[in-house]
A and B are shown apart, each in its own frame.
Chain A
Amino acid sequence: MRSLTAVIAAAPDAWDTTAKDTQFNSGVLLLRPSMTEYQLLHRAVSAPGMHRPEEGDQAFLNRFYEYRYFGLPNAYNLNLVLYEYFPMIWEFLWPRAKIVHFTVRKPAPPEFWCVASCPQKGILEWYGDVFQEMLEEYGFLITSFSTNNRWLDEIELYG
């Protein structure tokens, strides 16, 4: 296995129409730094056909590394879209999950999580529990959730 040269490793993307896309999601990427590779990537972004005007990194990286990336299990990038659209797959992957990716609904102040309910309510409550635990451990105490800005002021990058 050591003889394989995996340039990068990433897990499959997921959408409301497919639980396992042929493209990888670039939200979790294992890579090996190399100035040669960096310069190749930097030049490739500007090369004709490699980057479309509206695209971010993911489409480009899938194009650049097509056929030569190592596939990680879905557990390394459990996509929140599965929770609503593929609940049985979500239930199967949840106990195995190593990284949970809040793709379709981002972590946000409590007022925006799920005011009454939303399809991802249970998982967002789990995020809230972890976040609250962090606030308490580091003394980032919030006296009131009455204003959204206050929450953001406390730790706008979600620690």
Chain B
Amino acid sequence: MGYSLKQTNDLKAQNAEMVLFVRKYANVSAAVLDKLRRVGWKIRIEDDLQFDNVEVEQIRYWHRWNLNKIRFWSWTEYDQILFIDADTLVKGDLSEIWNTPGSTSPGDEKFDGSYCSSA
């Protein structure tokens, strides 16, 4: 996915970067993480979020860990985040997305945006 994003988008012109959220307990090997970095991902390894009254074992297995997605709202170093599932390919230019109604003005210090996926 990250490769296709880089091939179809000028990240520098968009002032954006690619960030991959990796669950700490997914135990992704160092060798794989290294390859992902070489493709261009900035890796963020974080603990699973915990929620009162939620038993993760009861969640359907294919989206058992997806509530972790809520963490992206806490990544306030970015003005905007475009989260994209890992089971995708990017096929076209996404630069217009940053101008979706309600978007903020380009920041001076912060990144305008971040393409983010999870594993």
Contact = CB atoms under 8 A, between A and B. Distances in A.
Whether A and B are associated in the same complex: the answer reads yes
Interface of A: 1-2, 4-7, 9, 26-35, 37-38, 41-42, 45-46, 51, 53-58, 60-61, 70, 72, 75-76, 78, 96-103, 106-107, 126-127, 130, 133-134, 137-138, 140, 154-159
Contacts of A70: 100-102
Contacts of A57: 63, 66-67, 69-70
A29 B2 CA distance: 16
B84 A31 contact: no
B109 interface: no
Interface of B: 1-4, 20, 28, 32, 35-36, 38-39, 49, 51-55, 58-60, 62-64, 66-67, 69-94, 97, 100-104, 119
Contacts of B63: 55-58
Given A32-B102, A51-B67, A99-B84, 14 more contacts: A5-B102, A27-B88, A32-B81, A35-B76, A38-B70, A38-B71, A38-B73, A57-B67, A61-B69, A70-B101, A99-B90, A99-B92, A101-B85, A138-B35
Given A97-B92, A98-B90, A41 B73 contact: yes
Nearest to A97: B91
B90 A33 contact: no
A158 B1 contact: yes
A156 B69 CA distance: 21
Contact of A6 (B64, B82, B83, B102): B102
B83 A54 contact: no
A138 B7 CA distance: 13
B88 A100 contact: yes
B18 to A, nearest CB: 11
Contacts of B92: 75, 96-99
Contact of B39 (A30, A58, A159): A159
Nearest to B2: A159
Given A97-B91, A157-B28, A42 B70 contact: yes
A159 B1 CA distance: 6
B62 to A, nearest CB: 8
